Amino acid sequence: MKKNIIIVLLSIFTGFVFATDTIGETKEFFVPPPAYPERVFPCTRCHDNVPIKVQERILTMNHADIVFDHAEEQRWCLDCHDAKNRNKLKMINGNKIDFDGSYNLCGQCHGTIFRDWKQGVHGKRIGMWNGKKLNRLCINCHNPHQPAFKPLEPQDRPLKPLEANLTPKKKAGINDQERK
Amino acid sequence: MTKKENNEPGKAMIDRRLFLKSTALGLAGTALPLKKARASIWNSFFQEHFSEMDDGEIKKVLERLEQENQKKYGRNIDIRADKPIEGVKFAYALDLSRCVGCRKCVYACVSENNQSRNPQIHWISVLKFKKDDKWIDLENADRYYDPNLVPEDDSFYMPVQCQQCEDPPCVKVCPTQATWKEKDGIIVVDYNWCIGCRYCMAACPYGARHFNWSKPGIPKDEINPNTHYLGNRPRYKGVVEKCTFCVQRTRVGKYPACVEVCPVGARKFGDLLDPDSEIRYIIENKRVFRLKEDLNTIPKFYYFFAT
């Protein structure tokens, strides 16, 4: 009986070690830098000079142009942006990360998509299929404050068979009026 | 009547076999382009099958075609004949849960692959389906949808192009072996061997092959000058053409044009034989299906749902 308990405990322990290894794995991705808006970055340029207000509120003066449409009922700015160092982002566990590694922040909620992204299955690919793979940051395609893509205008529909101009009129030397 | 009896003076001495031989030869002679018998026309007429030509012969053919195109389009069009990369088999995957039906792939393909603008030829057709019980209902699919904005709430979209079958019915029916499967899995057409019978179009279950009913109409300044002999070089009137996974790009390591242009990243491409490729990950981890799987054409084009 005692032996069994030891085996079970041991297996749980080894499983735990393995799990932490996987979670703690730091794999680097070849990503382009985020497009910082020149006027706003580094954020500390302004934020170091203003008092920190951690109270949830609607911004009316600065950043009023940001429309937040991303689970806005459950969180606000300082759930992702670090209150003390505005040049950093804040993970749920309190770790601070650079904007370059923002995919880790997004991956906290979008786990399945993060998994696909790491494999290169989520996101747009350009360049070489047999060369170095470039994983774009989530924010290179999605606006982090309004991540859903906006509807697009589709390009021209193909011509229907009767609309197709099979015999170029010029070549045949007949124009529409002569034909009538 | 014996031969001796026939041998009288004044009577023509020609037997039946000789007569037929010379008549056939004479008729064949009239079919030759004698009036315009420039060297290039002769060479074109007697061009060997692509698989039977060595590198030197292929080079001569490419030079001849480049000269012809220079004359026809007034600009230099580079035609290459890159061979398949050893140990590579191309495959494609398309995420139906992402495609928004914007048709950007259609027009990127047209300009990359020198498709005729007038008459219009599109290698990619984007089909629109209603989201209902019937799911992929090919008979009621709409390829002429034209709303102001896509995606529409009640619809989903499915781009269809050549599926690059492992067992391609189009290749089986070609009477002149003008179309075949390359080692990297791409089905190609030799436009100089195609006689325009359109058997392959009838055999293809995906509507992926297109016929040049008249001389392809492409504005000269819109021609893509980076071409492949078996791919996007300018075509002739009366030949069949199709998607080649952008053979001119993929054989030098680039992604096909449709992959690069897709604004939502729905298109994936890679090497089926590389266990670490994206395409293998998709096949092993996602819900994939192939179009008209029941026909056993074994397409190398996988549709999947990432979410």
Please check whether residue B280 is in contact with residue B272, taking contact to mean a CB–CB distance below 8 angstroms.
yes
Of B88, B144, B259, the CB nearest to A158: B144
* b/e A34-56 (16+ beta carbons within 10 angstroms → b): beeeeeeeebeeebeeeeeeeee
Query: What is the nearest CA distance from B249 to chain A, expressed in angstroms?
Result: 9
Interface test with chain A among B97, B109, B128, B144, by most A beta carbons within 10 Å = B144
Token code pair at residue A38: 């020149």
Q: With an 8 Å Cβ cutoff, are B144 and A130 in contact?
A: no
Query: What is the nearest CA distance from B24 to chain A, expressed in angstroms?
Result: 35
pLDDT, residue B102, reads 97
- Chain pair A-B, CB pairs under 8 angstroms: 106
ipTM of the complex: 0.81
Nearest to B96 by CA among B136, B132, B133, B124: B136
pLDDT, residue B34, reads 57
pLDDT class for A3, splitting at 50, 70, 90? low
Please check whether residue A98 is in contact with residue A41, taking contact to mean a CB–CB distance below 8 angstroms.
no
Residue of B nearest to A131 (CA): B253
Question: A130-139, B34-43, B181-190, B228-237: lowest mean pLDDT where?
Answer: B34-43
Of B102, B118, B253, the CB nearest to A131: B253
User: Is residue B81 over pLDDT 60?
Assistant: yes
pLDDT, residue A53, reads 87
Q: How many CB atoms lie within 10 A of CB B59?
A: 12
Average pLDDT, chain B: 91
Share of chain B above pLDDT 70, in %: 93
Interface contact A162, partner B, CB < 8 A: no
Q: With an 8 Å Cβ cutoff, are B103 and A122 in contact?
A: no
**What digits encode the pLDDT tens for the residues B98-139?**
999 999 999 999 999 999 998 999 999 999 999 987 888 888
Interface contact A126, partner B, CB < 8 A: yes
pLDDT class for A179, splitting at 50, 70, 90? very low
User: Is residue A174 over pLDDT 80?
Assistant: no
Domain ranges of chain B: 86-307
**Cis previous bond, B119, omega within 30:** yes
> Cβ contacts (< 8 Å) between A121 and chain B: which residues?
268, 278, 281-282, 286, 306
Of A127, A130, A154, the CB nearest to B147: A154
Q: With an 8 Å Cβ cutoff, are A125 and B260 in contact?
A: yes
**What digits encode the pLDDT tens for the residues B235-284?**
999 999 999 999 999 999 999 999 999 999 999 999 999 999 999 999 99
Q: Which residues pair with A97 in a beta bridge?
A: A89
pLDDT, residue B158, reads 96
User: Is residue A166 over pLDDT 80?
Assistant: no
CA atoms lying within 13 Å on the CB side of residue B251: 22
pLDDT class for A165, splitting at 50, 70, 90? low
Distance CA B150, CA B254 (A): 29
Of B150, B213, B253, the CB nearest to A166: B213
User: Is residue A168 over pLDDT 80?
Assistant: no
Query: What is the nearest CA distance from B190 to chain A, expressed in angstroms?
Result: 23
User: Is residue B66 over pLDDT 80?
Assistant: yes
pLDDT, residue B56, reads 94
| B268: CB partners within 8 A, 6+ apart | A121, A125, B92, B93, B94, B95, B259, B278, B279, B282
User: Is residue B146 over pLDDT 50?
Assistant: yes
Question: A173-177, B170-174, B197-201, B221-225: lowest mean pLDDT where?
Answer: A173-177
Q: With an 8 Å Cβ cutoff, are B214 and A168 in contact?
A: yes
Residue bearing the bigger pLDDT, A175 or B37 = B37
Q: Which residues pair with B228 in a beta bridge?
A: B80
**What digits encode the pLDDT tens for the residues A11-62?**
444 433 333 333 344 556 677 777 777 677 888 888 988 888 888 888 888 8
pLDDT, residue A177, reads 42
CATH architecture for residues B86-307 = 2-Layer Sandwich (3.30)
For residues A122-146, give the mean pLDDT. Answer: 89
